[in-house]
């Protein structure tokens, strides 16, 4: 939270700081929305239940905001948030959060940027839902991650865990791992120091096009 001075951050942590252990639930889908959270340390997994299966929809890192539904009166949580490590958050009631926004243009800008990013991620997830082939979903997610690094041709490296790729592609983690193995065997990607290395983005993009043509043929 670099937009806030160290002194102000310490003051906020003293009054509104909260710690969760690895695996602890921060809030559950269906709970009343009473607080907005600002992640300070650690990582948080946001999941949503689809029938009997829980799917990851976001992996949050320090600096991220979540639980914005608390800004709407009487709304229930639409997802579940679980600590992926020991975490520290600021848990702010709507009035306190609005006061913080009014006092800091930088924090307000951060909120708008994150909401725009969430909208873009939601659009990406909708696009992936329309893809039928598992490999197409993973390849599409990798190409979008590469574009976020500013690379559209040549090579790229993206830092993404199987859990994050699961959230991006809308697949379960085991399916993601199997699909990544297939892409490695096809020499489309390499795993280098916990990063996915794509040596030829154009080749991966051609694969995505080919997979789409196969889907059309299958109907």
- Tens-digit pLDDT profile for the chain (219 aa)? 555 667 777 888 888 999 999 999 999 999 999 999 999 999 999 988 876 777 788 889 998 889 988 888 888 998 999 999 999 999 999 898 888 888 777 777 877 887 888 777 777 777 777 788 899 999 999 998 898 888 878 899 998 988 889 888 888 889 999 999 999 999 999 999 888 999 999 999 999 999 888 877 765
Does residue 84 sit in helix, strand or coil?
coil
Give the pLDDT of residue 3: 58
CA separation for the pair 206, 39 (Å, rounded): 38
CA separation for the pair 164, 16 (Å, rounded): 28
What are the domain boundaries of the chain? 6-127, 131-218
Number of other CB atoms surrounding residue 129 within 10 Å: 11
DSSP run (H or E) holding 20: strand 17-20
pTM: 0.72
- Which fold is adopted by the domain 6-127? Jelly Rolls (2.60.120)
β-partners of residue 41 are 88
CA separation for the pair 17, 130 (Å, rounded): 40
- Which fold is adopted by the domain 131-218? Arc Repressor Mutant, subunit A (1.10.10)
Give the pLDDT of residue 219: 59
Task: Tell me which residue of 104, 100, 82, 86 sits closest to 36, measured CA to CA.
Answer: 100
């Amino acid at each position: 939270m670099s937009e806030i001075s160290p002194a102000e951050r310490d003051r906020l942590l003293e009054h509104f700081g909260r710690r969760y252990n690895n695996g602890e639930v921060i809030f559950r889908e269906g709970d009343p929305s009473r607080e907005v959270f600002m992640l300070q340390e650690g990582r948080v997994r946001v999941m949503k239940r689809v029938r009997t299966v829980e799917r990851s929809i976001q992996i949050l890192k320090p600096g991220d905001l979540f639980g914005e539904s608390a800004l709407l009166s009487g709304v229930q949580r639409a997802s579940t948030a679980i600590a992926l490590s020991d975490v520290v958050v600021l848990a702010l009631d709507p009035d306190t959060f609005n006061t913080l926004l009014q006092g800091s243009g930088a924090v307000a800008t951060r909120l708008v940027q994150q909401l725009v990013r969430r909208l873009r991620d939601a659009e990406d997830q909708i696009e992936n839902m329309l893809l039928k082939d598992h490999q197409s979903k993973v390849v599409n997610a990798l190409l979008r991650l590469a574009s976020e690094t500013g690379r559209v041709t040549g090579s790229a490296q993206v830092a993404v865990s199987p859990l994050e790729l699961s959230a991006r592609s809308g697949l379960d983690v085991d399916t993601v791992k199997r699909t990544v193995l297939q892409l490695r065997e096809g020499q489309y990607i390499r795993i280098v120091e916990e990063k996915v290395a794509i040596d030829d983005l154009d080749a991966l993009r051609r694969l995505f096009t080919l997979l789409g043509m196969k889907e059309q043929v299958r109907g």
